[in-house]
Chains A and B, each alone.
Chain A
Amino acid sequence: MEKEKQSTPVIHKKKNSQFRNILRRFMKNQTAVFGLVIIFLLVIFALFPSQLSHADYTVQDLANRYSGPSAEHWLGTDELGRDMYTRIVWGCRTSLTIGLASVAIACAIGVTLGTLAGYFGGVLDNVLMRIVDILMAVPNLLLGISIVAALGNSITVLVFAIALGNIAAFSRVTRSSVITVRDTEYVEAARATGASDGRIMWKYVLPNALAPIIVQVTTSLAGSILNISGLSFVGLGVPAPTPEWGSMLSNARTIMRDYPLQIMFPGIAIMLTVFAFNLFGDGLRDALDPRLKN
């Protein structure tokens, strides 16, 4: 009885220290922490845009178009005299929502397909990968254009269109990573202990195949945010008054020689976001890997 009491706190300590180990390893990586800080700020912007800027991002001031940064308009105004700072802050919400949602969907579907294909191989692998090949054969932007053209212009459709474009990459990356893990001796050993296929995939194969998937998440997030911009550029992005970095960029394109700041601010916003996610992803991958000591 006494022994039982002793063993329980040890279990709790173990779980805490596991999380703390990951956190400690992550915190040691300064560039990754820098990325995390930027992401944290972006999330704050996305959550509280009306508190951090003007509540209304559609206010026009036609007499004051293309103005440079000033006390009233921190980042100047755009071609309709709308405040750039407000639109960039609100755009953060649009970009992050669509980016995160589409990558989450693509990741869930792609990783499932990739794991099944890689683990079971054979006919299933062939069938799934040919489907993925078909997806891959269509350029992402074209795929997005066709879906938005077919289903109409809304955020839900955009999320769906961008997610569909990302599935192929996720399943490919997962499959190749799963194949290298599938034939390891510890998977065979797990099978010898009587573990079922599902359990082996979940506890043994996926955690060991995770590193390239995490990197794929961050690159896909960056890619998706660029993709939204691309779709906005051809006029199929987020519907009109909603601010979005990509459409701001394409609006400013025609006047970039005269007012370069107009494309610089949304450009910097996109760049910082993509950059932050990449740094964060690299750091997370390293921190999650217990084989890297300290």
Chain B
Amino acid sequence: MSKILEIKDLTIHYVTDSEVVRAVNDISIELEEGESLGLVGETGAGKTTTALGVLGLVPNPPGKVISGEVIYKGQDLLKLSDAEMRKIRGREISMIFQDPMTALNPVLTVGDQIMEVVRLHQKVSKAEAMKRAMEMMEMVGIEGARCGEYPHQFSGGMKQRIVIAIALACNPNLLIADEPTTALDVTIQAQVLDLIDNLKKKFNTSMLLITHDLGVVAEVCDKVAIVYAGRIVEYGTLNHIYNNPHHPYTNGLFGSIPDFSHKAHRLNPIKGLMPDPSNLPEGCAFAERCPHVTDACRKKQPIAVEVEPGHFVRCLLHEKEVR
């Protein structure tokens, strides 16, 4: 297996006249071929911005990539020109968006929309592209004959299948799924996740899955990165994170999931809110909500330490332990 994607110290800020929103700070991720990585965090933690950063789609202005590298198959995507990036998008790396209700063009038939991607990246005739579009629809479990219908004629779950069909139409090597199941109900969620998982295995596609649902991650991912206020606070394999969580935030996340075996009257959420990304504290961003906070936490930004092979934690608590 070889490295397909490596994000190194990616920092993305949204700069406006009145403030600087530090959405993504020094995020580093590695993804092997065929592997899935879950990017988990609260709303506003910078997950989507990271994904858009990989595709070079951070809205500019106000978004600005301050520093870092996004190395895909040995080339830094951030240094490519617009035209070169367009060849990568859709063909090499494609993206599934969160809300299938709004991710499809309402005035084009679904067949046309799948065809569009095929024709953008492959020199094929209209008839061939349409054939491919119908194949893709069959693959995601929709009758190919429905290619002449418009998005509004499909249900939410089916629309998300079509979005997946568009994303996979050119056999991309890397799939970025931005909360692909958040807008769907639970039964459809399971179907869509299964579908993504199967297709991923079939084409040996790597995946960056963005979600706030730890259950979804457990189902499809090999590696997990927990993001808090634009930083990865804990990073490791599924086993590391689920069976041996180290960071107080990760522990808090697991603590706030209701447990079937115990009857609880109240959930146990992490107290407080994520700090305003335009006004991040000097020290650890989680300090204000952390049950183990010390004075040092408020002053010093923790560095990532490797608590066991491949398992990184960014917390002063463990920094001391390792030393």
Tell whether, in the assembled complex, residue B105 and residue A190 are in contact, meaning their CB atoms are under 8 Å apart: yes
State A184–B97 Cα separation when bound (angstroms): 12
The answer to the question of A17 belonging to the interface, with a C-beta cut-off of 8 Å to chain B, is yes
- On chain B, the residues within 8 Å of A10 by CB distance are 134, 145, 147-148
A6-26: which have CB < 8 Å to B? 7-8, 10-11, 13-14, 17-18
B116 touching A192, Cβ below 8 Å:
no
* Cα(A193)–Cα(B103), bound, Å: 12
Shortest CB-to-CB span from B299 to chain A, Å, is 40
Q: Contact mask B109-121 → A, CB, 8 Å, 1/0?
A: 1010000110011
B163 at the interface (CB under 8 A from A): yes
A194 touches B90 (CB 8 A): yes
- The residue among A7, A186, A193, A203 with the most chain B CB atoms within 10 A of its own CB is A193
Please report the C-alpha to C-alpha distance between residue A290 and residue B126 in the assembled complex, in whole angstroms: 22
Residue B70 is within 8 A (CB to CB) of chain A in the complex: no
Asked if B120 and A18 make an inter-chain contact with CB atoms under 8 angstroms apart, the answer reads no
Taking CB atoms, residues of chain A closer than 8 Å to B145 are 10
Q: Which of A17, A199, A203, A293 has the most CB of B within 10 A?
A: A203
Set B102, B120, B148: member contacting A186, Cβ < 8 A: B102
* Cross-interface CB contact of A188 among B85, B97, B147, cutoff 8 Å: B97
Q: Within B152-192, which residues are at the interface with A (CB < 8 Å)?
A: 152, 163, 166-167
Shortest Cβ distance from B132 into A: residue: A7
Tally of chain A residues near chain B (CB < 8 A): 31
Closest to B117 in A: A193
Q: Which residue in A4, A189, A203 is a CB contact (below 8 Å) of B97?
A: A189
Closest CB in chain A relative to B264 CB, distance in Å: 37
Q: In chain B between 121 and 164, which residues have their CB closer than 8 angstroms to a CB of chain A? A: 121, 126-127, 130-131, 134, 144-145, 147-148, 150, 152, 163
Measured CB to CB, the closest approach of chain A to B130, in angstroms, equals: 5
Q: How far is the CA of A140 from the CA of B105 in the complex (A)?
A: 37
- Tell me, yes or no, whether B86 is within 8 Å of chain A by CB: yes
A-B pairs, 7 with minimum CB distance: A14-B148, A194-B90, A193-B90, A194-B89, A185-B102, A192-B95, A207-B107
